[in-house]
Structure 1
Amino acid sequence: MAPQQAEEARRLFDAACRSARLDQDPELPLAAGRGLGSALVLAREWGLTDLEERLTSAIEASYEPTWDDDRGEFTWGMGLDEEHPRGQFNAFLATAEAVGPGRWTALSAAPLDRCPQVVDVDFPRVALRRAEWDGGALRLGLAPLQENPRQRTEFRIVGVQPGHWQIAGPEGASVRSTDQGLVVDTPLVAADLEVAAE
């Protein structure tokens, strides 16, 4: 409701925060649920830094943030001692990690502009810790699960203009233009890459 009826959503949110006593430090450990994750999304959306700091501290202390090196995944265990993390609970917390002031409204308020995308990444063998267009260049940060410069990985960049492109990055990295987009081929190493039109 926040993007469509901002004033009403904020009024309801403030009342819910008072009712749940989120204007104080939460009692630890927190009960598992998606409510505090959605509260953190809205605190970041509206720039409520005091609430954001309280929630972040309580969530980090209670919800077991965990990086699984074997699977290449970051999740929250929520104190549930379950074999697999809860999807909905983790989805709200992951959303809260990705948002900032005004981003939820921007995502929901209008169609997104079409833009180039990186696809076919060989996850979890390799992940992208950064993928950002900056001044006409795509800046990427590769994060392999296990580095091995003798092995290679490929992915595509779709939605770009065909033509001549160049790549800066680890030795042996290359980019070629095809009718399915740009194909990037690179050694399986942690590295920063930049792909730009010549």
Structure 2
Amino acid sequence: RYTTFWAAIDWLTLIGPDPNQRNYPPEWLVWMPEQLRGQYNPPGWTANGVKPWGLQPDPIAADGNLFFRGFFNLLLSTYSYVSGDEKWERPFKVTGYNNRLFDWTQHSITGFIENQWAERPQGPHCENTKIWPYCLSAAGLSLQLHDKVFSTSTHWVYEQWIDYAKKYFVKRSRGGNIESFAFYYDPIEKMAYSMPDKLAGYGTLAPLFYLYPQAPEFGRELYESGIQQLGWNSRKDNFVQPIDDPRWLSMVLMLARELGDVTTEQRLASVAEREFDPNFFGDDPDRFAWRFGLEEPYPRGQLNGLMILSEIGEPGAWSQVYNGSYTPQFHLPTVEGVDFPSLGISEAHNDEATGQLHVTTYAATSADSGNETSWRVTQLPDPESVTVYRDGSIFTHWKRIGDKSIEIKSTIGTDRFRIVWSAPGKTSKPLAGKKSIVMGAARSSEASPTSAPTKQYRPAAPSSCSCC
């Protein structure tokens, strides 16, 4: 959907200055500098076509609209990281103004972001006249992950921007502590806009979900400043949310876990437990979500995604995705054909040194527990030499299908399978006819012009300190 008109609708329809600049309600004015209210486009109004840039029909190759291509590129980099699929490395069409179509590839988008940013150390615009650390950090993270997967060197522009931001976007006290961080920067007005004092902590925290894995030292400094400004790390003060929007608390809860801030994590987790309505929903007893007090048939996906991140992984797990080692296994034996959501897979991991694939299953839909099912293992070097174990014992309910695959018949439930596909000590090689997505180091790119769940809900315990 990201290549369609609806994905870029703001850039393609919000043309020129906003005609309602003088009609904003008070709750909107807080997002704009006081001296410019009534004659200034608000955040969100992309203003495609305003001087000096003019109308730009391509939503990717634009002076503004960085948020669009930055988040798109982060999505593409993540897709490559988890799938090994080369789909987006090939040319595809992006819909622009008046339904014009533009050719791009994942690598050409990455190259455009790098080259444009190199010319503008302050960062490209999102809405015309507004440069956002939040969106720049998402775009930077897309470059960092692209470099990790494809062995490129594009992330230097974000590292350069961090130096710029420290100098021009940060307001410090005489003692050197951060008092505020720019919510956005207007290069025309030469103004770094920070939110009013009681809300300044939000602006400081806003970009950290994406910034922290790229600049952890500066990110921690911003985090500690923002948390203190809002008072969310205090054990004594009442918990106050100046902005009643669950996105903020969900994001900061995840950050508190990531940084190992036990006090703040426990406080925010308690608020989320009380206010975010965690429960099962629908007729299926396995469906769980945070409902956020909204009387809607289906839970909000983005908000639940943030909350899930605060429930899984140890401190540092989020950063490890972008900074840890990259050992792709796309050329190794692979699990396919799983009857989800009846059967769930909680582990599927190759140990290449011993030539074994470890697979753990569970009943994703408890009503289907005990039913018969089947699934496949593909990309096996030699199916005839395979040995299958289930829960430590030889398992024989499988058969060969094709030259490189087997089918395993089992029942829906919690089982641990071990598929021995190579003699110990042997190293696997890409299969004939199957191009290795990554060999050893990441592949290089060429630039292109264009246990079964129960009904009872038990919240995950926050990480604890050594004293308790």
TM tier relative to shorter chain: 0.7 to 0.9
The structure having more radius of gyration, on CA atoms, is 2
Q: Which residue of 2 aligns with 1:89?
A: 303
Give the aligned CA root-mean-square deviation in angstroms: 3.3
Q: Deviation digits for residues 69-111 of structure 1, max 9, x if unmatched?
A: 6174321101122222112111111122223222111102256
TM-score, with structure 2 as normaliser: 0.36
| 8 Å CA contact retained: 1:165, 1:175 | no
1:149-168 matched pairs, under 5 angstroms: 149=370, 151-157=371-377, 161-163=381-383, 164-168=386-390
Alignment partners' CA distance in 1, 2:292 and 2:379: 39
Quote the Cα distance in structure 1 between the aligned partners of 2:381 and 2:226: 48
Amino acid in structure 2 at the alignment position of 1:100: E
Q: Give the SS at the match of 1:98.
A: coil
For 2:183, the equivalent position in structure 1 comes to: none
Residue 49 (structure 1) shift: 1.6
Within the alignment, does 1:191 sit opposite 2:408 as a pair?
A: no
Contact 1:148–1:187 at 8 Å: present in 2 too?
Answer: yes
The answer for unaligned runs of 5 or more in structure 2 is 1-210, 422-468
Q: Say if 1:171 and 1:158 are closer, same or farther in 2 by CA, change over 3 A.
A: closer
After superposing the two structures, state which structure 1 stretch, 12-21 or 66-75, moved more: 66-75
| 2:373 and 2:410 in contact (8 A); partners too | yes
- Which residue, out of 338, 344, 368, partners 1:147? 368
Alpha carbons of 1:114 and 1:67: their partners in 2 closer, same or farther (altered >3 Å)? farther
**Any idea what the Cα deviations from partners look like across 1:144-192, whole Å, max 9, x if unmatched?**
421353x42223345665440313159987344555655332123x222
> Scaled by the length of structure 1, what TM-score is found?
0.78
CA contact (8 A) 1:167 1:194 kept: yes
Could you tell me which amino acid in structure 1 is paired with residue 360 of structure 2?
Answer: L
Q: Which residue of 2 aligns with 1:112?
A: 326
Pairwise CA distance, 1:197: 0.6
**Counterpart Cα distance in 2 of 1:133 and 1:87:** 27
Contact 1:173 1:186 survives alignment (8 Å):
no
Q: Secondary structure at the match of 1:97?
A: coil
Deviates more, 1:100-109 or 1:110-119: 110-119
| Equivalent of residue 46 in structure 1, options 215, 235, 259 | 259
**Are the counterparts in 1 of residues 336 and 376 from structure 2 also a CA contact under 8 Å?**
yes
| Deviation, structure 1 residue 47 | 1.4
- Structure-2 separation of matches of 1:88 and 1:187: 33
- 2:232: which partner in 1? 22
How far, CA to CA, are the matches of 1:192 and 1:34 in structure 2? Answer: 37
- How many residues align? The count is 194
For residue 2 of structure 1, report the CA deviation from its aligned partner: 0.8
Aligned partners of 2:382 and 2:373: how far apart in 1?
22
Does the 8 A contact of 2:381 with 2:404 survive in 1?
A: no
Match of 2:358 among 138, 145, 160: 138
1:120 to 1:95, Cα distance in 2 relative to 1, 3 A? farther
- Structure number with greater CO (CA < 8 Å, separation at least 6) is 1
Query: How many angstroms apart in 2 are the aligned matches of 1:21 and 1:37?
Result: 16
Do the aligned partners of 2:350 and 2:357 also contact (CA within 8 Å) in 1? yes
Unmatched segments (≥5 aa) in structure 1: none
Letter in 2 for 1:183: E
Which structure has greater strand proportion? Answer: 1
Q: Tell me the residue number matched to 2:272.
A: 59
- Normalized per residue, the structure richer in helix is 2
